[in-house]
Amino acid sequence: MPIDLLNAVAIRWDQPDPLHVPLLKEAGVSTVMTVPHEGFEAACREAGLRAVHEDQIRPLDLQELGKAKPGDTVVVKAGLWPGTGTPDPSVASATRSLWVDQNTYLVRYLRALHPGIPPVLGYLPDADAGVAPDRPFRFDSLELALAEAWAAGGNYLMALEPRFRAALLKGAGDALTAWRRLGQTARWLSAHAEMFRQPALSSVTVLVDESDSSREIANLCFRQNVSPALASSSDPPAPDVSRCLVLSAAGIETPQGEIQRRILAHAEAGAAVVVDQPGAWWKRPGLKASRSEPDREFFSLGRGQLVAYKEPVTDPGEFALDLIDIVGQKRRAARLWNSRAGVALSTAFPRSGGLRGKAALHVINYTQPMNQPLLAQIQGVFSRAVLLEPGAEQAQLRIARRGSLSEVAIPQLQRVASVIFS
């Protein structure tokens, strides 16, 4: 029987003990990856949990995903443990702010480049993921890891950091509180799974490929709340200025043949195309210089424009802010106020189900729960907004019109929330 990890609340549990099964149920777990253990597996079955073995799941690096075979249950060995931290003082950046490690971009990146593989992350709380044993570890960050993966349309095969596991099994109060909150959030995510699997509603589309530069541009675009759509550079979307006002073709390998034409067609249709390969493939008849800046040149092409950086992008964070400037603050897909460590994802909303809506704004908080309202804006004019949060009843929010944007105030954002607009 195939293993559906995308729709499971799944966890690694390599110390099987039948007495642990009620604890797993408390966290909303439905699938346990474990070593063979007859008593533990029997207790899981009795409790309605599915036990799977490590040899039934294939962990692959990003570079190995092309090796996946039909029927493989794949987890992707990539990702950073999410949360806030202190930036490296040796790295200079024009966009330095509160440092946030997040993986929403990675889920969307996998969906763009490998649509046939369910985007399930499988990183561990170790040095590769940025978890140092000599630094404090927040127990509630496991909830964050699960919430951000689901909100982006994927999943995370959870793994317990050793200090969290030890505190949990000893019954420490702070560990149990974080564990129960995890269960509350896991059940909420599962109940609204279809809502998180919808396509992005964005004014900016970023083309991505297998290169590190492409992935980092995508990463910082999510971190800076460009809230972009991602698409494979080998299959650019058709021009549609009602959905894509800016197409980023920076940080990718030089496109060839027909792909070049498909990218530039966005400018001809009225959008802005952004490139970073000087004097290269994008030079075409009809391209007219309009102005020049120290780091980039602007050209008119058809009904739109082409923005050409004179050098390859070296600061993806600054580049993400440039994309916001190009699309304009009034035409952004989403925007957050009063939040230094929040990521917003603007998506369509399912046409079926108990709730009705036209768009959704999912907000993930990467730091401490907020004790003041968070202002959130989404592109579009709507008349009704409903707030969904783990452990809370649905609540209607008042909408304020801000030009073509609709603004709401989320009273006190905990870890994750969704606002449904109609």
The structural domains of the chain, with segments of one domain joined by +, span: 10-191, 204-330, 334-421
Could you read off the pLDDT of 247-298 as tens digits, one per residue?
999 999 999 999 999 999 999 999 999 999 766 899 988 899 999 999 999 9
pLDDT computed for residue 280 by the predictor: 82
359-365 and 342-348 strand pairing: antiparallel
Query: Residue 377 contacts by C-beta under 8 Å, 6 or more apart in sequence?
Result: 332, 334, 335, 336, 337, 402, 405, 406, 407
CA separation for the pair 52, 139 (Å, rounded)? 25
Q: What is the pLDDT of residue 355?
A: 81
The per-residue pLDDT for 160 is 96
pLDDT tens digits, one per residue of 38-49: 999 999 999 999
Percent of the chain with pLDDT over 90: 88
| The pLDDT value given to residue 278 | 65
CATH architecture of 10-191: Alpha-Beta Barrel (3.20)
* Residue 337 predicted with pLDDT over 70: yes
Q: How many residues does the chain have?
A: 422
Is residue 96 over pLDDT 50? no
Average pLDDT over residues 154-183: 97
Q: Which residue has the tokens 């649509």?
A: 115
> Average per-residue pLDDT in the chain?
94
- How far apart, in whole angstroms, are the C-alpha atoms of residue 64 and residue 76? 9
**CATH code for the structural domain at 204-330:** 3.40.50.880
Q: Which fold, 334-421?
A: Immunoglobulin-like (2.60.40)
- What's this model's pTM, rounded to 2 decimal places? 0.94
Q: What is the pLDDT of residues 344-390, one digit of tens each?
A: 999 999 987 778 899 999 999 999 988 899 999 999 999 999 999 99
pLDDT at 89: 42
Name the pLDDT band for 78 (thresholds 50, 70, 90).
very high
Matching fold, domains 10-191 and 204-330: no
